[in-house]
Amino acid sequence: MRQVGVLTISDRGAAGEYDDRSGPLAVEILTTSTPWVVARRAIIPDDFDTIVATLLDWCAAGLDLILTSGGTGFAPRDITPEATRRVIEREAPGIAEALRAASMQVTSHAMLSRAVAGMRGRTLIINLPGNPKAVRENLDVLIPVLPHALDLLSGEPESGQEHRAV
């Protein structure tokens, strides 16, 4: 059973100044669309060291997938991509590119996303926007490919899955 973490990164959310809607939505979508277990869920501030420490802790705990929400834009405190890059060992640029491309079909503001995706060990980390509508749109793109991606990352490709060199 795959284990997933959903991490909301928001100063105001961590301070309790507003109700996080993106994290609970991601959890709802994952639990109704996949057989996976959401093993970790947290809301933390836009603090570089806190983001890095949380991602490292969750990777060390053996999570298969970590989805972050928030902190991917142009605001001065939007540092999620930089913190994620500090943690990952290999980038997965095709994931971030696909999410931006799909989002561009909805809004031209998608080009302002600086989200990244990558791997640390056998954990896949993907930055999602903080907007709940965008989280839903991104997960609609991701969920069909995540089982295969996670199987490849774990070293156990799905039986019968066609593999093509890129």
Q: What is the pLDDT of residues 133-164, one digit of tens each?
A: 999 999 999 999 999 999 999 997 654 444 44
| Short-list 86, 39, 85, CA closest to 61 | 39
**Could you tell me the domains of the chain?**
3-154 (3.40.980.10)
How far apart are the C-alpha atoms of 6 and 66, rounded to whole Å? 6
Q: What is the pLDDT of residues 8-66, one digit of tens each?
A: 999 999 999 999 999 999 999 999 999 999 999 999 999 999 999 999 999 999 999 99
In three-state secondary structure terms, 16 is: coil
